[in-house]
Protein backbone atom coordinates (compact mmCIF):
# COMPACT_ATOMS: atom_id res chain seq x y z
CA UNK A 1 0.00 0.00 0.00
CA UNK A 2 1.24 3.52 -0.84
CA UNK A 3 2.19 5.90 1.93
CA UNK A 4 -0.30 8.68 2.69
CA UNK A 5 0.55 12.38 2.92
CA UNK A 6 -1.86 15.09 4.08
CA UNK A 7 -0.91 18.53 2.75
CA UNK A 8 -2.54 21.90 3.56
CA UNK A 9 -2.49 25.03 1.43
CA UNK A 10 -2.60 22.89 -1.70
CA UNK A 11 -4.36 25.37 -4.00
CA UNK A 12 -1.25 27.18 -5.20
CA UNK A 13 2.40 27.99 -4.52
CA UNK A 14 4.51 25.45 -2.63
CA UNK A 15 1.50 23.40 -1.52
CA UNK A 16 0.42 22.72 -5.06
CA UNK A 17 3.97 21.68 -6.04
CA UNK A 18 4.16 19.39 -2.99
CA UNK A 19 0.96 17.62 -4.03
CA UNK A 20 2.34 17.08 -7.54
CA UNK A 21 5.77 15.95 -6.26
CA UNK A 22 4.52 13.40 -3.74
CA UNK A 23 1.82 12.04 -6.08
CA UNK A 24 4.36 11.68 -8.90
CA UNK A 25 6.65 9.73 -6.53
CA UNK A 26 4.05 7.12 -5.63
CA UNK A 27 2.46 8.62 -2.53
CA UNK A 28 -1.27 8.90 -1.98
CA UNK A 29 -2.03 12.52 -1.17
CA UNK A 30 -4.91 14.30 0.54
CA UNK A 31 -4.74 17.85 -0.77
CA UNK A 32 -6.45 20.33 1.55
CA UNK A 33 -7.61 23.66 0.18
CA UNK A 34 -9.47 26.54 1.76
CA UNK A 35 -11.34 27.31 -1.47
CA UNK A 36 -12.70 24.93 -4.13
CA UNK A 37 -9.92 23.02 -5.91
CA UNK A 38 -8.86 23.72 -9.50
CA UNK A 39 -7.41 20.24 -10.18
CA UNK A 40 -4.03 18.53 -10.59
CA UNK A 41 -3.33 18.17 -14.28
CA UNK A 42 -0.47 15.69 -14.34
CA UNK A 43 0.23 11.94 -14.12
CA UNK A 44 -0.37 10.63 -10.62
CA UNK A 45 -3.43 12.83 -10.12
CA UNK A 46 -5.62 9.81 -9.43
CA UNK A 47 -3.61 9.31 -6.24
CA UNK A 48 -4.80 12.72 -5.04
CA UNK A 49 -7.95 13.10 -2.92
CA UNK A 50 -9.34 16.53 -2.26
CA UNK A 51 -10.71 18.00 0.93
CA UNK A 52 -11.85 21.53 1.56
CA UNK A 53 -11.01 22.92 4.98
CA UNK A 54 -10.22 26.37 6.33
CA UNK A 55 -7.56 25.58 8.93
CA UNK A 56 -9.07 28.18 11.30
CA UNK A 57 -12.09 25.92 11.80
CA UNK A 58 -12.49 22.46 13.31
CA UNK A 59 -11.40 19.85 10.72
CA UNK A 60 -14.19 19.10 8.28
CA UNK A 61 -16.17 15.91 7.74
CA UNK A 62 -14.89 16.03 4.19
CA UNK A 63 -11.36 15.63 5.56
CA UNK A 64 -12.40 12.72 7.79
CA UNK A 65 -14.01 11.05 4.76
CA UNK A 66 -10.86 11.52 2.67
CA UNK A 67 -8.62 10.00 5.36
CA UNK A 68 -11.11 7.19 5.94
CA UNK A 69 -9.28 5.80 8.98
CA UNK A 70 -6.02 5.13 7.12
CA UNK A 71 -2.57 5.46 8.73
CA UNK A 72 -1.08 8.86 7.93
CA UNK A 73 2.66 8.74 7.20
CA UNK A 74 3.18 12.44 6.67
CA UNK A 75 1.47 15.71 7.55
CA UNK A 76 2.73 18.83 5.81
CA UNK A 77 1.32 21.93 7.47
CA UNK A 78 2.05 24.29 4.60
CA UNK A 79 -0.93 26.70 4.58
CA UNK A 80 0.01 30.12 5.87
CA UNK A 81 -0.99 33.71 5.95
CA UNK A 82 0.95 36.87 6.70
CA UNK A 83 -0.06 40.50 6.67
CA UNK A 84 1.28 43.57 4.90
CA UNK A 85 4.11 45.36 6.68
CA UNK A 86 2.86 48.44 8.54
CA UNK A 87 4.39 51.05 10.85
CA UNK A 88 4.05 50.17 14.53
CA UNK A 89 1.19 52.59 15.14
CA UNK A 90 -0.89 51.10 12.31
CA UNK A 91 -0.49 47.40 13.05
CA UNK A 92 -3.86 45.71 13.46
CA UNK A 93 -3.61 43.20 16.35
CA UNK A 94 -6.47 41.24 14.73
CA UNK A 95 -4.18 40.50 11.76
CA UNK A 96 -1.59 39.12 14.18
CA UNK A 97 -4.23 36.90 15.80
CA UNK A 98 -5.44 35.72 12.40
CA UNK A 99 -1.90 34.71 11.37
CA UNK A 100 -1.44 32.83 14.63
CA UNK A 101 -4.76 31.08 14.01
CA UNK A 102 -3.75 29.98 10.49
CA UNK A 103 -0.04 29.32 11.05
CA UNK A 104 -0.05 27.86 14.58
CA UNK A 105 -3.51 26.76 15.71
CA UNK A 106 -4.27 25.30 12.24
CA UNK A 107 -1.32 22.86 12.35
CA UNK A 108 -2.20 21.98 15.95
CA UNK A 109 -5.82 21.23 14.96
CA UNK A 110 -4.68 18.96 12.14
CA UNK A 111 -2.18 17.07 14.29
CA UNK A 112 -4.79 16.57 17.02
CA UNK A 113 -7.34 15.38 14.47
CA UNK A 114 -4.94 12.87 12.87
CA UNK A 115 -3.00 11.75 15.95
CA UNK A 116 -4.32 8.20 16.00
CA UNK A 117 -3.75 7.95 12.23
CA UNK A 118 -0.14 9.08 12.73
CA UNK A 119 0.37 6.52 15.50
CA UNK A 120 -0.95 3.83 13.16
CA UNK A 121 1.76 4.59 10.57
CA UNK A 122 5.15 2.83 10.58
CA UNK A 123 7.46 5.88 10.86
CA UNK A 124 5.37 9.07 10.74
CA UNK A 125 6.61 12.63 10.24
CA UNK A 126 5.07 16.05 10.86
CA UNK A 127 6.52 18.84 8.71
CA UNK A 128 5.59 22.39 9.65
CA UNK A 129 6.57 24.66 6.77
CA UNK A 130 8.10 27.63 8.53
CA UNK A 131 10.38 30.51 7.60
CA UNK A 132 13.90 31.57 8.50
CA UNK A 133 12.11 34.76 9.60
CA UNK A 134 10.64 32.76 12.50
CA UNK A 135 14.11 32.21 14.01
CA UNK A 136 14.16 34.14 17.30
CA UNK A 137 17.94 33.94 17.52
CA UNK A 138 18.48 35.25 13.97
CA UNK A 139 15.93 38.02 14.46
CA UNK A 140 17.48 38.99 17.81
CA UNK A 141 20.86 39.22 16.03
CA UNK A 142 19.28 41.59 13.49
CA UNK A 143 19.94 39.23 10.56
CA UNK A 144 16.78 40.28 8.68
CA UNK A 145 16.59 43.90 9.86
CA UNK A 146 16.59 45.18 6.26
CA UNK A 147 13.47 43.16 5.35
CA UNK A 148 10.09 44.76 5.94
CA UNK A 149 8.31 41.69 7.28
CA UNK A 150 5.06 42.09 9.18
CA UNK A 151 4.80 41.50 12.91
CA UNK A 152 2.01 39.02 12.09
CA UNK A 153 4.27 36.82 9.98
CA UNK A 154 7.35 36.93 12.23
CA UNK A 155 5.39 36.35 15.43
CA UNK A 156 3.30 33.53 14.00
CA UNK A 157 6.28 31.71 12.46
CA UNK A 158 8.27 31.98 15.72
CA UNK A 159 5.23 30.56 17.56
CA UNK A 160 4.90 27.82 14.95
CA UNK A 161 8.54 26.89 15.60
CA UNK A 162 7.71 26.51 19.29
CA UNK A 163 4.79 24.29 18.30
CA UNK A 164 7.23 22.09 16.39
CA UNK A 165 9.55 21.85 19.39
CA UNK A 166 6.64 21.11 21.73
CA UNK A 167 5.24 18.41 19.44
CA UNK A 168 8.67 16.83 19.02
CA UNK A 169 9.13 16.63 22.78
CA UNK A 170 5.62 15.28 23.32
CA UNK A 171 5.89 12.72 20.51
CA UNK A 172 9.56 11.78 21.03
CA UNK A 173 10.28 8.30 19.68
CA UNK A 174 6.86 8.11 18.00
CA UNK A 175 6.61 10.94 15.45
CA UNK A 176 9.47 12.99 14.01
CA UNK A 177 8.68 16.74 13.92
CA UNK A 178 10.48 19.16 11.65
CA UNK A 179 10.25 22.88 10.97
CA UNK A 180 11.24 23.40 7.34
CA UNK A 181 12.18 26.71 5.68
CA UNK A 182 11.66 26.17 1.94
CA UNK A 183 13.87 29.02 0.61
CA UNK A 184 12.87 32.25 -1.12
CA UNK A 185 10.16 31.07 -3.48
CA UNK A 186 8.59 32.62 -6.56
CA UNK A 187 5.08 32.36 -5.11
CA UNK A 188 2.36 34.72 -3.95
CA UNK A 189 4.08 35.05 -0.59
CA UNK A 190 7.61 35.36 -2.00
CA UNK A 191 9.84 38.43 -1.65
CA UNK A 192 10.65 40.52 -4.75
CA UNK A 193 14.15 39.00 -4.97
CA UNK A 194 12.86 35.40 -4.76
CA UNK A 195 14.28 33.07 -7.41
CA UNK A 196 13.62 29.50 -6.23
CA UNK A 197 10.82 27.62 -7.97
CA UNK A 198 8.31 25.93 -5.67
CA UNK A 199 8.81 22.64 -7.58
CA UNK A 200 12.51 22.70 -6.57
CA UNK A 201 11.60 23.14 -2.89
CA UNK A 202 8.98 20.39 -3.21
CA UNK A 203 11.57 17.96 -4.59
CA UNK A 204 14.03 18.86 -1.81
CA UNK A 205 11.36 18.36 0.84
CA UNK A 206 10.38 14.99 -0.62
CA UNK A 207 14.06 13.95 -0.59
CA UNK A 208 14.32 15.08 3.05
CA UNK A 209 11.29 12.98 3.97
CA UNK A 210 12.81 10.01 2.12
CA UNK A 211 16.10 10.40 4.04
CA UNK A 212 16.69 8.37 7.18
CA UNK A 213 17.41 11.36 9.44
CA UNK A 214 16.12 10.76 12.98
CA UNK A 215 16.72 14.26 14.40
CA UNK A 216 13.60 15.63 16.07
CA UNK A 217 12.99 18.50 16.54
CA UNK A 218 14.91 19.84 13.56
CA UNK A 219 14.88 23.32 11.92
CA UNK A 220 15.89 22.67 8.30
CA UNK A 221 16.53 25.05 5.45
CA UNK A 222 16.04 23.13 2.22
CA UNK A 223 19.28 22.85 0.25
CA UNK A 224 21.24 24.65 2.99
CA UNK A 225 22.55 24.20 6.54
CA UNK A 226 20.07 23.77 9.39
CA UNK A 227 18.95 26.96 11.12
CA UNK A 228 19.11 27.95 14.77
CA UNK A 229 15.80 28.29 16.60
Ligand X SMILES: NC(=O)c1ccc[n+]([C@@H]2O[C@H](COP(=O)([O-])OP(=O)(O)OC[C@H]3O[C@@H](n4cnc5c(N)ncnc54)[C@H](OP(=O)(O)O)[C@@H]3O)[C@@H](O)[C@H]2O)c1
Q: Residues in the site for ligand X, rule: CB under 6 A?
A: 8-9, 11-15, 33-35, 54-56, 78-81, 102, 129, 131, 181-182, 184-185, 187-190, 194
Nearest to ligand X of 174, 184 (CB atom): 184
CB of residue 28 vs ligand X: minimum separation in angstroms?
20
CB of residue 98 vs ligand X: minimum separation in angstroms?
8
Residue nearest to ligand X (CB): 13
Whether the Cβ atoms of residue 76 and residue 40 lie closer than 8 Å to each other: no
Nearest to ligand X of 36, 89 (CB atom): 36
CB of residue 118 vs ligand X: minimum separation in angstroms?
20
CB of residue 54 vs ligand X: minimum separation in angstroms?
4
Whether the Cβ atoms of residue 207 and residue 33 lie closer than 8 Å to each other: no
CB of residue 81 vs ligand X: minimum separation in angstroms?
4
CB of residue 194 vs ligand X: minimum separation in angstroms?
5
Nearest to ligand X of 121, 205 (CB atom): 205
Whether the Cβ atoms of residue 14 and residue 196 lie closer than 8 Å to each other: no
Nearest to ligand X of 118, 179 (CB atom): 179
Nearest to ligand X of 2, 112 (CB atom): 112
Nearest to ligand X of 34, 85 (CB atom): 34
Whether the Cβ atoms of residue 59 and residue 105 lie closer than 8 Å to each other: no
Amino acid sequence: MSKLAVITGASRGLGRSLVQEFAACGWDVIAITKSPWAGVDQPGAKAVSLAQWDVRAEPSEELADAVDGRPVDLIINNAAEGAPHAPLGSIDPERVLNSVDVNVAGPLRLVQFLLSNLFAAHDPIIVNVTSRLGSLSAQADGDFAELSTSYAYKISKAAQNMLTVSLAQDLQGKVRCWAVHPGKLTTGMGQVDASKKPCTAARELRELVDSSDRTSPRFCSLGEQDLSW
